[in-house]
A and B are shown apart, each in its own frame.
Chain A
Amino acid sequence: MAEINTAVYDVIVVGAGGAGLRAAIEAHAAGAKTAVICKSLLGKAHTVMAEGGIAAALGNVWKEDNWKIHFRDTMRGGKLLGNWRMAQLHAQEAPDRVLELEEWGALFDRTKDGLILQRDFGGHRYARLAHVGDRTGLEMIRTLQDHAVAQGIDVFMECTVRHLLTDGGRVAGAIGYWRQSGALVLFRAKAVVLATGGVGKAWKVTSNSWEYTGDGMAMALEAGADLIDMEMTQFHPTGMIWPPSVRGLLVTEGVRGDGGTLRNASGERFMFKYIPAFFRGDTADNEAEADRWYEDKRNNRRTPDLLPRDEVARAINTEVKAGRGTEHGGVFLDIATRRPADYIKRRLPSMYHQFKELADVDITKEQMEIGPTLHYIMGGIRVDPDTAAATVPGLYAAGEVAAGMHGANRLGGNSLSDLLVFGRRAGQAAAEYAKGATAGRIDDAQADAFAKRLTEPFERQGDENPYAIHEELQNAMQDLVGIIRRREELEEALAHLERLRARVARVHVTGTRRYNPGWHLALDLENLIGISEVVARSALMRTESRGGHTREDFPKADPEWGMKNVVSRRRDGRLVLSTEPIPQPPADLRELIGEDKPQEKVATGEPAIIGGKE
């Protein structure tokens, strides 16, 4: 043990995206000695890539908007599987969190009256997303980063945390390694906030970066915490598909928010055929009304191009399977014929640039070819809604790594606001907990065992290449645990994961410990495979279709399942799955959601009447 450098803090925040930075700012402000740790350089986390905007019912563009409608949209978009209290806190607090960014120097696009401009996005009743062109995430992360640095918060960059250390069932710290030197590092902390994001790198076609290897979820699971809803993965309907090297790169929903429409190969605006009963009351069933809606939301219903993402992704999947797709197996996204070139360039500069540079497509003149891409995971670490506390004392989680807020499907723009609302709450609660706690004891045997696992890939015999295993994993998850799932395929996936796990044990890493991506990937693979298993097993367990989880063999939503979370935890070294009831909203909030017995009518694709209240 003596050879590992040790840093001592009240609170460590693992992850420096929106959630982690916001948590660190809050914990520091509450007087806790705080550090934030990240795998990349500061400012490069996923949050920097977010394009479209931050959802918050500021009411600057549509004064009718308020938290109640945002709450309703979020719960319905999540197919009523979400945690109502999280959705409520989120909707209520998001406006303050956005305005706070302005206090710290953020510059959002403005309305004519000089207020923060808001744009339309899928599933949101009103134009609600505060944004900066299509680079909102950059504005957000830089604002938080600069603010955190100005507060003097310690930052550990290019440092990967790999295991949580526990003391009699509570968190005592963490262990990891410096990417640059390969040296191990140990953190002693009273509280740990996980803000590590998702696990998209388990899939082949994804908008996610190398960082998304499920580390936070794997560490929480190992430390005894619960995960929920892990079958709920979001395939964003519009990823680039051509050329192959850009496959999966995100095309922001802002394209549709700003007037773009989806067409199949014969030019048909096919989304009108895919309006599920659940959203019929809110959705235009003809092109004229859909097009009027952009300007006049009071008298028209929303275009089906902006149905929640799960609906749109499934529709695209169906069109392509039916032979109505494009040459490269996608559909068209057209803004060129619908909006003037200068408008497109002003509203969507980075999309314009991205297509021009990477695909030789001028989106002001031509249609984009797009298809679904794995984008986000709604599932994750189970948290207390008010404090973001995980089920292990001293452990907190916020941002994409946490679950509950988005239920079975996340609305666009609701992630960035989630990061701010629950990042702040996590930081606050962790600092509060740290104040009342004494430092946990570091169990030397545990730390030594973890340290050994970290350097093992250098010592092992074997000839497996970590990159090849990763590619196989991505293919398996893409093919077997994709948008549409079946029992046989999920079982096959699980068998495949076992074989891959065995192969990872034979990965031998060459080179030195200094900045060695082969070594890093060898370690990441354990998390990727571990969390992929949780996703596949949860998907096998939920025998219904809802939101981001579609079972071909159980194509309808089941009201019984609509009342349950799938919970995953490790007990005695084994992964154990069970179901637990979801807390049901009190009567007044249920009223807001818009129906008396919402659970009976959620089914996707099934005719039923849903009356919104507006």
Chain B
Amino acid sequence: MTTEAPRTATEVRMKIWRGEGSGGEHVEYVVPLDPGMVVLDVVHRIQATHAPDLAVRWNCKAGKCGSCSAEVNGAPKLMCMTRMNEFAPGEEITISPVRTFPLIKDLVSDVSFNYEKAKTIPPFKPKPKDADGKRRMYQEDVDRVQEFHKCIECFLCQDVCHVIRDHEENKQSFSGPRFFVRLAALEMHPLDANDRLDLIRAKHGLGFCNITKCCTEVCPEDIHITDNAIIPLKERVVTAHYDPIAWALRRMRGKREDFAPPQPKPPSA
């Protein structure tokens, strides 16, 4: 493809990873730019005019489905929510697939790791209903869980987490921040009666996380993954694991009051 500089201010130069499996390289394209465009629009324009077989995932184009994850100039982002005006005119823009998962082709990675991990999570199990057959939960009690339910499964947090990004061998025993969010959502659900704590430690590898907060920084839904999900889970696992009395009490009381409301904690916690 062409390597000349953009001919006018309304053109954009973009390098996109092209390749299948392990082979590939960044290929440069030049296309016209319209007002308001996002990175995904440019990728689509390249696809329509230069590279019909360019593989890319998307659905909603509004940051709601979590399909269009990629690394934009090295930063994990949703392509549909990354405006072209964030880049300086003439700035080189390079788009690569998320790296933590094996490449299928171009911008599409094999994210089946996540769907396999999802299968290992013990599901929601509701407590008995109220005497009148209804279920009551109060907004202040569901607020913190609703934060976790905002997750759009973009897997950007999984992509940046060094535990699996740099260590293929850890994938077996570590589920990653997305699933800590999921586990926290279940554990803090006001109506849930399932117990997953031993599993969280033994199977999902919470202990591998050293609270670098990289996951929180990239979450497009602004979920406070470390402060609100991981740290409270860690505390809970520690209490349950090392304190048999707390463990027994928890069993007797049900879990609702076990969690203090999520408090931001320093990374050293």
Contact = CB atoms under 8 A, between A and B. Distances in A.
A103 B66 CA distance: 26
Contacts of B63: 350, 353-354, 357
A465 B124 contact: no
A175 to B, nearest CB: 22
Interface in B19-34: 20, 34
Contacts of B64: 48-49, 135, 137-138, 350
Contact of A107 (B35, B53, B106, B189): B189
A607 interface: no
A227 B126 CA distance: 41
A394 interface: no
A104 to B, nearest CB: 6
Interface string B114-132: 0100110001101000000
B199 interface: no
B135 to A, nearest CB: 6
A330 to B, nearest CB: 15
Contacts of A113: 136
A456 interface: no
Nearest to A240: B62
A519 interface: yes
Interface residues of A, number: 65
Contact of A41 (B37, B38, B48, B57): B57
Contacts of B106: 515
B183 to A, nearest CB: 12
Nearest 10 pairs between A and B by C-beta?
A243-B36, A511-B53, A518-B52, A114-B136, A105-B124, A467-B48, A150-B123, A515-B55, A209-B59, A515-B105
Interface in B125-164: 126, 134-139, 142, 145-146, 149-153
Contacts of B34: 243-245
B105 A138 contact: no
B35 A180 contact: no
Given A138-B152, A350-B64, A511-B52, A110 B145 contact: no
A102 B60 CA distance: 26
Nearest to A248: B61
Contacts of B52: 465-467, 509-511, 517-518
A149 B152 CA distance: 17
Contacts of A139: 149
Contacts of A514: 20, 55, 104-105
Contacts of B172: none
A109 B140 CA distance: 10
Contact of B67 (A44, A99, A511): A44
28 contacts: A41-B115, A42-B115, A45-B59, A46-B59, A48-B60, A49-B65, A107-B145, A109-B142, A132-B146, A135-B150, A149-B118, A150-B123, A211-B59, A243-B35, A243-B36, A245-B37, A245-B41, A350-B64, A357-B81, A357-B83, A359-B36, A467-B47, A468-B48, A511-B53, A515-B104, A515-B105, A517-B47, A518-B53
Contact of B57 (A40, A249, A471, A519): A40
Interface string A125-149: 0000000110101110010001101
Interface of B: 20, 34-38, 41, 47-49, 52-67, 81, 83, 104-106, 108, 110-111, 115, 118-119, 123-124, 126, 134-139, 142, 145-146, 149-153, 186, 189, 191-192
Interface string A88-107: 00000000000100111101
A157 interface: yes
A286 to B, nearest CB: 34
A246 B36 contact: yes
B61 to A, nearest CB: 7
Nearest to B130: A114
A209 B36 contact: no
Given A138-B152, A209-B60, A245-B41, A107 B36 contact: no
Contacts of A468: 48
A242 B146 contact: no
B35 A209 contact: no
Instruction: Name which of B119, B137, B151, B189 has the most chain A CB atoms within 10 A of its CB.
Output: B137
Contacts of B81: 357-358
Contacts of A135: 64, 150
Given A105-B189, A114-B137, A467-B52, A244 B35 contact: yes
Contact of A517 (B49, B54, B142, B191): B54
B105 A245 contact: no
Which one of B67, B189, B192 has the highest number of Cβ atoms from chain A below 10 Å of its Cβ? Answer: B67
A115 B136 contact: yes
Nearest to B148: A107
Contacts of B151: 142
A350 B149 CA distance: 14
A468 B62 CA distance: 24
A358 B59 contact: no
A107 B61 contact: no
Contacts of A114: 136-138
Contacts of A137: 64
Given A357-B81, A512-B20, A132 B123 contact: no
Given A115-B136, A209-B58, A512 B124 contact: no
A43 interface: yes
Given A132-B149, A133-B146, 19 more contacts: A41-B57, A43-B66, A44-B65, A49-B65, A103-B126, A135-B64, A139-B149, A146-B118, A149-B119, A245-B36, A249-B62, A350-B63, A350-B64, A359-B36, A468-B48, A510-B52, A512-B20, A517-B56, A518-B52
B3 to A, nearest CB: 22
A135 B151 CA distance: 11
Given A40-B59, A139-B149, A245-B36, A517 B137 contact: no
Contacts of A358: 36, 38, 62, 81, 83
Given A146-B123, A467-B47, A110 B137 contact: yes
B247 to A, nearest CB: 24
